[in-house]
Structure 1
Amino acid sequence: MLNTLLEITALNSNLMTFLAVDIAIAIVLLSAMRFVSGVTAKVNTTDELAKQDNFAFGISVAGSIAALGIVLTGAITGEAAESLTMEVIGMTSYGIFGLVLIKVGRLIHDKFALNQIDKTEQIKAANITVGIVDAAGAIATAIIIKAVLIWVYGLDVNTFIAIFSGFVVSQAVLIIATRIKERQYAKNNQGDSMQQAFANGQVALAIRYAGQVISTALAVTAASYFFSYSPETLVVNLAGWLVFGILMTLLVTLLTFIAKKLILWGINLVEEVDQQHNIGVAAIEMAISISIAMILTGLMA
């Protein structure tokens, strides 16, 4: 093992330097995410986490940090840059841009997907359910941003336009998926509001929803295997991403429905999760949703 590492290092004398720089930048950006979370929520993060013991805020921040970590894996995937300076510029630019997009994605999710509740106020009020929903939304957004970062190449204006455009497509698909889940919940619960259920603190429902949005994000990333990045055909490719993402989301939803029927045979999911708030069953639902999406995405690759 040691000999292999030495051989790899010998092939490129700058390898360890590049790795050290990437890790250092990543740690700085991850640290910044806590500060940014406090600024956007207009709270002191130390007070919220250590004095108020606000678990909901902690879950929300954890989701944001995990999301940025996912984005950064997209930034460092691939060959090293031609120079250390370009590596620093690329890693920092992608990282900061990813951090901004995660926060913008949260605002879009708040305004359009979950527009009936004030997530920021709910999290300040220590609503763990909303904290889980917020973290799931951030992670789902990051999964798609990572896929776009790997999909594009270069470091120019066209690259960042492509990343932002892919981000917009991802948000559109996540909003559509949320609307579908809302209608399904209302149909199964005599017209009740899923968002109001989140506000009421139904943790099991939030866990199920987390699985659904993350699986949707995974489904959307499969489009990167079928469309080649080209600045000249960016609009066509992104339209393809949107259509393909919706189709993949529907396919994942269908396969997940079948898998849940088989794996949770004899269990009334509406009764257990929606009405009895069974966190255990909801956790299994989440695992099934994500597993099916990962398997399908792996097959597409």
Structure 2
Amino acid sequence: MNVLVNLISVPADIWVYFAIDVGIAILLLAALRWISGRLSSVDTNEELCTQDNFAFGISIAGRMFALCVVLAAAVAGSTKTDYYIAAVSMLAYGLVGLVLIKVGRVLHDKLILDRLDKEAQIMDRNSSVAIIDAASAISTAIIIHSVMLWVEGTDTNALIAVCTSFIVTQAILLVTTRFYERQYRANNQGTMQKALTEGQLALALQQAGMIVGTSIVVSTSAKLLIYNPEAYVSNFTGWLVTGAWLAVLLAILVMVLKKLVLSGLNLVQEVDQQHNVGVACIEMALSVGIAFMVSGLIA
């Protein structure tokens, strides 16, 4: 008689690792929520439920999802070690993820979105800025996840590689954002950041797709580069060069695809001027979808 379900071999103690990983994840997610409230000088329950600040919820949701993405990389290799090392690795990468997500938000606020106060906008219920904030946290986490699977172990060299990829991510996001800002300014009166402060939701969705899509293709660099624990310079330049090349490739592919798939539509008029959320969602889907295709091809 044929077997109805063919399963791969699963470790007998998989549930022990599962309990360890989920327990640490719950602890870190709770810590993230508490830290978010403390840094914003608000009570999260008050802001989310009583004040119904949707922007604040979107921002925290983005950070929580980003932390889960980082922890997923630690979970992937946890069953290959004993319980103690699995717990230490999960906790170490979780704490590193928490710190880098926070540092990334600060850098995104001070360097990339340097003409607006992101925290103040979120507390003022600006969902458009909150969407960009969530997308930037998720994009950083996607890169960190890829690097954690690329490196070997949880030693100092591995942590340096993770921090290196973080720097590369911020640099590429800075350059790509400036490019799209210049493009927006050429087609419209005013700046992209000013439009975001005015609550331009369609623009936020369009840019969020660009940010996440870029991080997906940049993370594919892990499939092209050989990890050398002590080659700090080559690891950095490798991620920077391949990441920049893949980001440019994505931008070109998305531009061509939009002209073909969305032919007959004036995207500048629809998204930038008429705030057409539907068209912006299609653009976001194309950016992320093509990024997954490029990533899958290289993988």
Q: Which interval holds the TM-score relative to the shorter structure?
A: over 0.9
Match of 1:42 in 2: 41
Match of 1:268 in 2: 266
- Cα distance change, pair 127–79 in 1 and its aligned pair in 2 (3 A): closer
Match of 1:26 in 2: 25
User: What's the offset of the Cα at 1:4?
Assistant: 6.2
Match of 2:233 in 1: 235
Matched to 2:25, the amino acid is: A
Match of 2:286 in 1: 288
What CA distance in whole angstroms lies between the structure 2 residues aligned with 1:188 and 1:64?
32
User: What's the offset of the Cα at 1:138?
Assistant: 0.6
Work out whether residues 214 and 247 of structure 2, in 8 Å CA contact, stay in contact via their aligned partners in 1: yes
Q: Indicate the SS of the match to 2:231.
A: helix
Following TM superposition, the consecutive aligned residue runs of length 4 or more in structure 1 with deviations greater than 3 angstroms are: 1-5
Q: Indicate the SS of the match to 2:230.
A: helix
1:63 aligns with 2:36: no
Matched to 2:50, the amino acid is: K
Q: Indicate the SS of the match to 1:227.
A: coil
Q: What is the CA deviation profile of residues 31-77 of structure 1, one whole-angstrom value per residue up to 9, with x for unaligned ones? A: 22211211222211111100110010011011111111111111112
TM-score, scaled to structure 2 = 0.95
Match of 2:254 in 1: 256
User: What's the offset of the Cα at 1:97?
Assistant: 0.7
Q: Percent identity?
A: 47
What CA distance in whole angstroms lies between the structure 2 residues aligned with 1:157 and 1:99?
17
Match of 1:109 in 2: 108
Match of 1:149 in 2: 148
Match of 2:208 in 1: 210
TM-score, scaled to structure 1 = 0.95
Matched to 1:152, the amino acid is: V
What CA distance in whole angstroms lies between the structure 2 residues aligned with 1:207 and 1:274?
11
Gaps of 5+ in 1: none
Matched to 1:112, the amino acid is: L
User: What's the offset of the Cα at 1:218?
Assistant: 0.7
What CA distance in whole angstroms lies between the structure 2 residues aligned with 1:4 and 1:219?
33
Q: Indicate the SS of the match to 1:235.
A: helix
Aligned pairs for 1:154-233 (under 5 A) are 154-190=153-189, 192-233=190-231
Matched to 1:90, the amino acid is: S
- Cα distance change, pair 265–36 in 1 and its aligned pair in 2 (3 A): same
Q: Indicate the SS of the match to 1:163.
A: helix
User: What's the offset of the Cα at 1:232?
Assistant: 2.3
User: What's the offset of the Cα at 1:20?
Assistant: 1.5
What CA distance in whole angstroms lies between the structure 1 residues aligned with 2:193 and 2:276?
18
Count of matched residue positions in the alignment of Structure 1 and Structure 2:
297
User: What's the offset of the Cα at 1:156?
Assistant: 1.2
Q: CA RMSD in A?
A: 1.6
- Cα distance change, pair 56–79 in 1 and its aligned pair in 2 (3 A): closer
Q: What is the CA deviation profile of residues 192-216 of structure 1, one whole-angstrom value per residue up to 9, with x for unaligned ones? A: 2100110011000000000000011
User: What's the offset of the Cα at 1:81?
Assistant: 4.1
Work out whether residues 165 and 236 of structure 2, in 8 Å CA contact, stay in contact via their aligned partners in 1: yes
Matched to 1:164, the amino acid is: C
User: What's the offset of the Cα at 1:23?
Assistant: 1.6
Work out whether residues 78 and 86 of structure 2, in 8 Å CA contact, stay in contact via their aligned partners in 1: no
